[in-house]
Structure 1
C-alpha cells in the first residue's frame, strides 16, 4: 500500500489503532452506567487545556491531559455529591470549557481559532512523533486500567450499592473511571477530534450490543469494531481528503446500522423459539395435556 510509504500516515495509523483499542474499552463502562455523553463533556473541558498549551507554548496534548483530568474529577464529584441541580453544574462546566478554550486561543501569541481545527475534528497529517509517544503512554495506562480492573469497574457500573456492600472502594473506583475516560479523550483527540470523540466511546459499544449479551463478549467485539472503523476511516480520509474524525464516526454509525438490521430478525427468531420452548415445557408438566387429548367427563355416555 502506497500510503504506508508516507511517515505521517504511519503515525496517523498507529494513533488510530491506539484510539480504536482504548475508546470502546472505556466506553463500555460509560454505556453500562448510562453516562454515554460524559466523553462529550470531557472533550469540551479538554479544549481549554489545548488552548492553554498554545498560550504557554507547552505541549497541547499534555496540557489537555491535565485539564481534562481535573474536569473529569470535578464531574464525578458533582455527580456523586450534587443535588437536584447537579445537571446545571455539569452544563456550566461543559460550556465553560468550550468558551474558555476559544477565549484563551485568541489570547495566545499568534493564536487563532484555526489552530484548534485539527484538535476539534482530527487531522491525519498533523500527528507528530511526540503525539504518537504521548498517545502510546496514555493508551497503555488506559488499557491496563480497563482490563486489569474490569471486574471491579463492572461491579460499580452495574450496582454501586451492591459493590459497596461487597467491600469495594466505590468512590476511588468512580474517580479512576472518570480519570481513565479523560485520558481516553486526550488519546483520541488527534485522530478523531474533541467534538466527535464521544461517538467513538459509544457507537462501537452500541453496535456490539446488537450481537452480544455478556459483558466480556461486548467488550471484545466493541474493541474489534473500534479498531476496524478507526483504521478504515483514516485510510478513507487519506484518499478522499476529508477529516478523519468524520470518516471514522460515520463508518461506526454504518456498522451500527448494519448490525442493528441483522439483529432485528434474529431477535424475533430467538423470541419465537423461547416462546415455543416455554409452551413445550408447560405441556410436559405433570397433569398437563396436549390439545388433541380426549377429555373424559364423569357420568358422560359415549
Structure 2
C-alpha cells in the first residue's frame, strides 16, 4: 500500500485523471462521426515521432505531438479528397505511420527499449514536464469543447445542416482531428500507443448504452474513464500489474457489465 502514497504514483494518478477527462471527451465526437480508428492511426504516427525524438535527442513526446498534428491535417485533406471513402484516409496514414516507425527503429536500435515503453505505456515514469504537457492539452481541449459545444454538436449529428447554417465545417472538422491528435500523442506514455484507442472509445461505448442525452453521454463517458483509471492504477500498484493494460481491461469489464445490465433491463 505504500506505493499509493509515493511521488511517482501521485504523478501517475494525476496524469491518468487528466487523460481520463480528455480522451472520452474527444472520443465521443470521433465515435459518433464513425472515426473510431483514428486513435490507432495517430498513435502509430506519434510513435514514429517519438522514435525520431530519441534519434535527434529532442523531448520525444513533443516530436510525437508534432507528428500527430501534421498527420491530422493530412487525414482531413484525404477525407475531403475521398468523400465517399473517408476511412481510406485513416488506412493510408496508419500505413505511413507504421512504416516510418519501423524505419526509425532500424536507425536507432539503441533506443528501441525506450521507444517500446511508449508502445505499452510507462505511466509510472511521468515527470513534471510530462504533466505540464498533459495539463496544457487538457486545458485546450476542455476550453475548445465548452466554447464550441453547440457547433460541434451540430457538426456531429447533422454536418450538412451545419454547412447550410453557415458554420465553418472544414475548420471544425480539422479542429476535432487536431484535438484528437493532441490527446492521443500525450496519452501514449500513460496507456501506450497500442491501447490508447481504448480510452477514446470504450467509455463512450458504455455511456451510449446508458445515457438518454448527448450531454449525459459525455458526462458518463468521462466518469467511466476516470473510474477505470483510478481503479486500474490502484490495482496495478498493489499487485504489480502493467498499469496501462490493467486500465484497459477494467474498461472492457465495465463495458461487459454495462451490456449485461442493459440486456437485463430491456428484457
TM-score (norm 1): 0.84
* Post-superposition offset of 1:92: 2.9
Moved more, 103-112 or 210-219: 103-112
The answer as to whether partners of 1:200 and 1:226 remain within 8 angstroms in 2 is: yes
* Post-superposition offset of 1:86: 5.8
Matched residue, 1:178: 177
Aligned structure 1 segments of 4 or more residues deviating by more than 3 angstroms: 83-90
The answer as to whether partners of 1:121 and 1:244 remain within 8 angstroms in 2 is: no
The answer as to whether partners of 1:155 and 1:163 remain within 8 angstroms in 2 is: yes
Matched residue, 1:73: 73
- Deviations along 1:25-83, one digit per CA (max 9) or x if unpaired, are 00011111111111111111111111111011111111111100011111111112226
Q: Is residue 54 from structure 1 mapped to residue 54 from structure 2 by the alignment? A: yes
Matched residue, 1:295: none
Q: Is residue 138 from structure 1 mapped to residue 137 from structure 2 by the alignment? A: yes
The CA distance in 2 between the partners of 1:250 and 1:261, in whole Å, is 17
Alignment of 1:162-241 (within 5 A): 162-241=161-240
Q: Which has the larger radius of gyration?
A: 1
CA 1:85–1:226 in 2, change beyond 3 Å: closer, same or farther?
Answer: closer
The answer as to whether partners of 1:31 and 1:205 remain within 8 angstroms in 2 is: yes
Q: Is residue 100 from structure 1 mapped to residue 93 from structure 2 by the alignment? A: no
The CA distance in 1 between the partners of 2:218 and 2:86, in whole Å, is 30
SS in structure 2 opposite 1:110? helix
The CA distance in 1 between the partners of 2:63 and 2:72, in whole Å, is 14
Matched residue, 1:15: 15
Moved more, 124-133 or 171-180: 124-133
SS in structure 2 opposite 1:34? coil
* Post-superposition offset of 1:84: 5.7
Matched residue, 2:128: 129
Number of residue equivalences: 267
CA 1:263–1:86 in 2, change beyond 3 Å: closer, same or farther?
Answer: closer
The answer as to whether partners of 1:13 and 1:231 remain within 8 angstroms in 2 is: yes
* Post-superposition offset of 1:240: 2.3
The answer as to whether partners of 2:195 and 2:244 remain within 8 angstroms in 1 is: yes
The CA distance in 2 between the partners of 1:259 and 1:89, in whole Å, is 32
* Post-superposition offset of 1:261: 1.0
Alignment of 1:223-302 (within 5 A): 223-268=222-267
